[in-house]
Structure 1
Amino acid sequence: MLTITREAEPDEATQLAIEAGLEGFNTSKAGPENAEDFWIIARDADGKVQGGVKGWSSFSWLFIDWLWVSADGRKGGTGSRLLGEAEEVGRARGCVGVYLETFTFQAPEFYRKHGYVEFGRLEGMPPGHDCIWLKKALD
């Protein structure tokens, strides 16, 4: 019989065992993940960070985890340039598409303007807003 416990911070060996088990199963069904992270940073003339994108590619798709532009950098095309660079990373890695999640209070219209379409929504996440998943095919 198995014992099931809640652990706020399991030790590294436990985390690695779970990760290896999941990765092994996924690879047996979908092939190698070929996961690779990327960062794209926007800096001003003084080197101060004004925006950036963080994401990764896996299973021939690019995921944009974070895209942020400082208040000073908005409306000047910085977000569009960062998004375009992320899409180029995807193309260079042979990805078929890009996907991301955003909240209704963030930038869904920005992404739609760049050709992204909604494929999922979780209403009331966070309360009073929605979480939206968007995707775009890459050429």
Structure 2
Amino acid sequence: MATIGMAGSEVPRLLAEHDRPSAELDAIEEQLNSDNRRLTRRGDDRGLVFTLRGETGRAVGVAAGYSWAGIAELKLMWVDDACRGLGYGKNLLDAFVAEAAGRGVRRIWVSTHDFQAPGFYEKAGFERMAEFAGWPEGHSNIIFCKTIAAEG
């Protein structure tokens, strides 16, 4: 096996670390984001998160993602079972879309499975862009995009 040289005398080792703490992965992701900012000359990346909280402060819904370089990605959309069917999901999504539009975003991307919420996104004006059959086995992963009209 060939070794990979690094600055100094450190030689990297490949390790299986499936339970790596999320804080460490977040730090590594920030290194990647820093490279992306440098390479694209776009440093406008920001988190985009709306949370629905119950009376006790417990999160019962969230729409979470980010905006960067004229796009947004909705990475996590969830509403507690007890709050579903009451319009809270629509409220979360509408807030996410409005904030993205206010930041100058032109497209919002989201991925969902066929057993989750494709109809929800279609009803909200998202267009089906791709479908990956067999992800997970016996189902599909569907990619949606919503285009936001530019002002003026």
Q: TM-score range by the shorter chain?
A: 0.7 to 0.9
Alignment match, 1:82: 92
Structure 1 position 7, deviation (Å): 3.5
Cα distance between partner residues in 2 of 1:121 and 1:62? 19
Cα distance between partner residues in 2 of 1:25 and 1:111? 28
Alignment CA distance shift 1:46-1:26 (3 Å): closer
Alignment match, 1:133: 143
The answer as to 2:118 corresponding to 1:108 is yes
Cα distance between partner residues in 1 of 2:43 and 2:135? 29
**TM-score, length of structure 2 as denominator length:** 0.75
Helix, strand or coil at the partner of 2:72: strand
Which amino acid is the alignment partner of residue 15 of structure 2? E
Alignment match, 1:6: 14
| One of 26, 31, 44 as aligned partner of 1:19 | 31
Which amino acid is the alignment partner of residue 19 of structure 1? Q
Cα distance between partner residues in 1 of 2:81 and 2:38? 42
Alignment CA distance shift 1:8-1:70 (3 Å): same
Which one has the largest radius of gyration? Answer: 2
Helix, strand or coil at the partner of 2:131: strand
| One of 92, 100, 104 as aligned partner of 1:94 | 104
Alignment match, 2:54: 44
Cα distance between partner residues in 1 of 2:15 and 2:116? 33
| One of 27, 33, 42 as aligned partner of 1:32 | 42
Alignment match, 1:66: 76
Structure 2: tracts of 5 or more residues without a match: 5-11
**TM-score, length of structure 1 as denominator length:** 0.81
Cα distance between partner residues in 1 of 2:93 and 2:63? 8
Helix, strand or coil at the partner of 2:95: helix
Which amino acid is the alignment partner of residue 67 of structure 2? S
Cα distance between partner residues in 2 of 1:7 and 1:102? 31
Cα distance between partner residues in 2 of 1:62 and 1:43? 23
Helix, strand or coil at the partner of 1:41: strand
Alignment CA distance shift 1:27-1:112 (3 Å): same
